[in-house]
Structure 1
């Protein structure tokens, strides 16, 4: 459990404390981001990290104290070392400081439970040493492996500071020996600490503050550790400390390194500092006094002759550099906040628009319902016209929502299936039954026609009979009814599913959705009944074929010409074989005539059967094309599609009573509350966007 403190912090208003790492600009920007979060913006800037690492006794604690005003240097003598994570979060609310312990993953269960249960609220940051003592006591009590003098543990002390300091920052103080793991390997814990260090140093948002003791610039491990995780040196900043403790004459080498002319050349370069000695700190030397003393030290001839970059000397310049660096990181990520805010504003405006006008009165409800009916009617008309780009383009972007396209595809599939499989008997090279269709050979087809003729005993041999033709056509077209009804059902399902999607997109609540689906359902059922009635009329018309005399004559003549042509071709083929064959005999005219006669002269009954089949094929194809067109136009188009825009129309709204209107579409309390919330959010987001655009970083 974490308890929050509300007392005032000692460092919040200190000009030389952590507040000096922030600025008026960063404070304003973070206020804007916090306001965006209040408005539901999940996008956030990445929290910057300053990871401070250095060898033992490198002056790291003193650097941290001078940067933040937090008394790190008072904790240098602790018998157990552990990482400290200082988390600074900007807020315009009451200031809070909270201390917790985060156990490492390999810690024993009992210690993990005890550490996670630890929390302390600080009234002043000067209480931090006492918190450190409490943590050490818990480690000694629950972690047997860390009881040795000088032991290092991977358990982390986390201090969260919330105040109006203009910072969105974590400062991590790693144990001093972490760059030299073999020096502190107690019970194999070096691996834990190495992984802990890696988790911080490998984070691309972290700034590596590598602290180097001036008297040990050639024999330190910290820059090598930094280079491992930042090979290009893009986020590594070197800080050279304890410059007052070097041997006389060593200033040149130190200055050379400070000018980034050493072996390690990080892009962020180096800063030169002079750390105050312990007695000076204990004597109460203020941070401001330390900075003034530092600049006087570097003004001595030994340093002045080194032509130092003065903006890289002293902790105050280091603070300014870090502040600019942190501001730059915030600025780089602000476009993401602006884009997320803009997107959220658009979403809120769209949702507010979808709510329509307020529906707390009869007139308001009627206006809303009339507008909804008009929109759905226009949407349906656009879908039927295939106009997918002018109205509700986003809705029509879904392929299944393009109603005209879906119906056209269904009609095409229906026509193709009818042409291929509509006839009851289909002439092929083999016999069989497939998909409720009888496959027959040509001879079997002739046999079927012959059997029909034989059932009609009163016919004159060799003469075409309309009664026979009617019976044959009825049989061949017997599958049309089932196929056409299946097509009507398929189109009905397409329309019903489309209506459900269209209504669901525009209905604001469950009761309105149910009403609309019910209204459209009734209208579609009526349209389907009318479509079936129309289909029955078409099928009834097709039961009695009407033979056109010209079609009959032309078909008969075509069949006879085809038979004669085949006979002549056979005779010519035989003449050619006789003339140029192996026996080289001549064929007589009588033989030619006999060939032609055998091919052209058949019995009167068989001739009637062949001509009837040909006539049936021609008439069937013509009737089939007409039937397909009539189903698509008179059944699907006239009854299923054309009625859609009028099922739910503005005219129908005028016929509803006041009670019906309120029952169907009056706003619920939740909807009224949501409207008020959205209006407030929209206004706040617009202000936030305008503020983000207006306020820019200083050059």
Structure 2
């Protein structure tokens, strides 16, 4: 039997040593490790069992009972030595960690170690800050630290067992309910992982139903597939019925476990100096003699534990390797989400400068419609220039169709091209251009530019105007009656002329919708730009707190630049509507001359006669005398009204095109998009360079929690990377 055990154990020493090295790194707090954990209620015989399995004389004194996890590792080699040290608990502070890690003791022989073990245990408890006497004194009663005992020798078996404090249900002198909870939580932490074999120690002389540890193990091992029951103190079971109950457990007839039960006898207070073979003589007596011999005694249990440890380690090794690799990737991903470290001013300024550079790159690409520059431009809000152009085209079309209060007369009824030359008067919704504008309008609506969120309204409420739910009303058709009223209310003593201020008054009325329509347009552009900046910030600065501080730092400057752009648009409106109409553009004279010609043509058309000349071309012939008489019959008022109409129409058409261009070029393109004072140029590397240190710290300085998280992630990555090296070597 011993030969078989040696073959199993010696075939995998390197594998077992790798797992022990991972345990030394405390990797078990990150990735479950294959392990054997001894658990049980207090006074269940755990200490005696550990002594039988390891040869280490665990004290039975209450003040030195298991008050922390103890990892006992035995390894077979030519050296005869024992190494003892403390592995800090998972929640240890850095200072505490450094202190307890200095506790390292090496004994030159296993015999010397066993003789001095009680003194070593006392010193380890003292270093962990535990009370010397459990019932009195200062310090904690239990610790999350792990005492690691590594035994080397030519006669040692390859075995690693972890002992944890025994569960207790009532407080005794020196212990509290918090201690009860801490111990139970410690036990849970060790038994919850699928790679843990649970050695549930159960005294044979106590009803198994009263042992909490079996119920606790069942919570984490529903099917009992990794729980091995170890029944102790068979010498205290004297009643035949109680003996039969123990036999039923070992034989799997009662509360079965996949790994089954073992019955062992350990050295107790009444055993004196008996050796294990002598203690195991009890199993040659009735009723224990009838039990399977591979289920009774310490040697059988040790063989089974060695086999289980090798089996679970070999089975779980590939998964363990994968888990460590995945944890490293996840930690690096989370660490990257925190951004580069920014502990001091240099790191902070460098960090923020890189963000500013990336933002400017995004802004340049968005203005150039270079959406292939980065996959991030798949976000609709980042397609800035496309939205601006669509909104501008819709604004231009709406302005052409409906910015005037009243429709002008169509003078050239004989020429089909007049409508296209006079877009302010045309209904072009069914034309290809009109259909395209309808599609653009649908895209603008789909972008949700008119649906202002409460947060946006809070930031931009003093700048933008309320966006109407419907399009601006179309112009009216009563131009002649209206211009007649304007003339009659403004005329003075004149001979065939009209007051020059009349054109100014008429133009102001005809263009009164310009202001509202322009401010709505500007509001849509500002909202679009504001959303772009916010979306760009989200894409380059995923850390919410830093992004919020940065946004707060630049918001005032953004708002001021939006105001300047809106003020520029208001100035353009003021210039067009309040100044006296005047232009040096020759197109005005040409349009006015053409209008006058159309009127004469209209008067002569009834008197003209048709004449078909060579090549079948139709001509109209007019008597020269008719030209002189063409305007006869019209009153002075009628002629003045026509003149006012034609002057106003020619000037309005010219001013409208000029105004649309000026609003886009001077207010939108210069002040909002490309000019030196564009909101897009608030957040730049120069801005970062000139940022005061205190403000820089407030924006990108890491919070205590972020610093702590970064430190923990860096340490975890370091530990896991070392673990990966161990696993791959």
Using the size of structure 1 for normalisation, the TM-score is 0.50
